[in-house]
Structure 1
Amino acid sequence: MTQQATQDLYENIRPYHDDEVADVLARLAHNPEFLDAITRYRLPRLAQYAPWLARALAGIAVKRQMRGVDSVGKLQDHIAYYMRRMLATTTDGFEVTGLDKLDSDTAYLFIGNHRDITLDPAFVNYALYQAGRNTVRIAIGDNLLQKPYVTDLMRLNKSFIVPRSAKGKRAMLTAYQALSGYIRHSISVDNHSVWLAQREGRAKNGIDRADPAIIKMLTMARRQHDKEASFADAIRELRMVPVSISYEYDPCDLQKARELHALHTEGRYEKVEFEDIRSIVAGITGAKGRIHLNFGEVLDADFETPDQVAEEITRQVLDGYHLFPSHELALEASGLAPDLIDMSEVTSADRERFTTRLESVPGHLRDWWLAQYANPALNRAGRLPET
């Protein structure tokens, strides 16, 4: 298949190419909703009293900031600057382990646990960028792309679209076949790494488990292309690497506790309009403490079933997950599994910070808040409480 034919085949889901960047940026600079979103955060008073002026100033600022940006690489140079600033102002440290064991010229399918809508792959990208490696193409659910400007922003930053809103079994099958084909093409033909969450949606309760259905989707393309291919060969071709990300504190922990409580008490939780966008902003701007990112080992065993692959991903994610003082203190406060608690690295300052955060959580939400931090330790030990 020619490159042009491949581009056309995945045109509706793939990231933008370099030759599309200038036009998309020009479109964004004139998009009223995008400019209004900027002014609400950067010029709130002016946006309230003179929205037309705030919008005009935002448009000028976007054009100035993006002057000379005519490729995805140059755009990501800009993003790296903001990542450095975000790390300096909202975190207490960022540690990366395991990346040095992976070949710098080989594409991998990084499949990891999921805590933050945008920051999980952003930190993977930043680790790769800092190491002088090519960044990843990022899988993002179409449920997050509620506005055309959001779609443009994500696809500019090498995101491709995961279909979650397709209606009917036939439409879903077609959509997932295209998704599987694109991921396989990216890894095996383009030699371009991909990031994908190990399950749909964030693990809001702190329980990380890979979903076998994701593995089935990933092998569709190879099995379609080669009916004789073994399941193990289809997995090996993708060069899957489990990735663990651990945040000392989650800026969205209270909102997640509210959602978990509502699901438990009412059986459902209704998101308000643009709640996911607000979660993205909260994740970026909120205090996160320390962050640890671990790259595992390539899955190249003779796997026979999606369940076996999911189990190995889960094992590596849990083994690579770093437990911070917040996790140990939450485990202590929960009263569960006291024998698992390790206070060897917990300082009085850690305890004071944890206590202050916990005291700000409404009483009826505290168990759900604590669970997010305690569950990684319980999950690793196979000691999760029954629900």
Structure 2
Amino acid sequence: MTAMTRSTALSAEHEELRATVEAFAREEVAPVIGDLYERGEFPYDIVAKMGRMGLFGLPFPEEHGGMGGDYFALCLALEELARVDSSVAITLEAGVSLGAMPIHRFGSEEQKKTWLPRLCSGEALGAFGLTEPGGGSDAGATRTTARLEGGEWVVNGSKCFITNSGTDITALVTVTAVTGERPDGRPEISAILIPSGTPGFTVGKKYSKVGWNASDTRELAFDDVRVPEANLVGERGRGYAQFLRILDEGRIAIAALSVGLAQGCVDESLRYAAEREAFGSAIGGYQAIQFKIAEMEARTHTARLAYYDAAARMLAGEPFKKEAAIAKLVASNAAMDNSRDATQVFGGYGFMNEYPVGRFYRDAKILEIGEGTSEVQKMLIARELGLPA
């Protein structure tokens, strides 16, 4: 969808932001990201530029160093970045919705004053430690523990697949941990902020991943890690409920990122179909290619409408859990399907790393897994429809 037709659905301010990020992705990210991706290098220069643009502070108030925008603005930025590269997009998404948002939503005023200005500027990154090696989708089965001892939390356990957790500018990770037992016998789960470099806090080596190779993903270990009691984020025992809220919002952001990848597949396929000739004419003139690209565009358009709707409901203060799950499910499916079809349009060249569609294909699969698998989204939708848990 062109910028002109898309702008009709956006306010002037949102369209200006979208166009600015689109130009940044095309001019600053596209020329360098391929090499960084293949070398598995974190894009520090790009992140610094995004910080200066204010992208990390988009949905946060100016009093805490933010831009005073809204969550939809973040989603628009993520879509435009992911049209070019998902490693850069997920670095922004995780830094904002997982790293800074828990502090903004649930943190004390002191925590906000201490951490949000640095996180909003992009000078520092935050991470969110939820997933554990034996947990996966069963986040309620948290085994990491934290006990109060002499006015300090003593944290023990491990987390896995944590984005932005081991870069040179990572400043903190907020982890979920069992801090006691509820009256009904279930574990009491709380969220605790742990600054980078705290003794006993070990960051593992970078994973060798199928995709998102220019982003940072690691395993974390906590061995008698001590932090002040004041590092509790939100209310004790509300960590599980807090992260459910964070994940609901994050699913809209991941849907936006997925739409960007799906749109990037359309962009690249249109360009290639006009240039590539077979049997004496451009392949874009063959109905088989036309139909494939038409289906790709239809998927992208539908997924975009889904995340727009979920974001609008969220910003209006309306229930949005079901709509966020629908958006994430539909958009991640679109990204996966479009990346496969775009690779097919490119034929043998689609299997070569010099073309972006190969990178898109590698990046798409995680979108059906991260921040809630497709199966979890279906479960959430069913429950919201009133079907039994």
Query: TM-score, structure 2 length as denominator?
Result: 0.28
Higher-RCO chain (CA-CA 8 Å, sequence separation at least 6): 1
TM-score using structure 1 length: 0.28
Structure richer in strand, relative to its length? 2
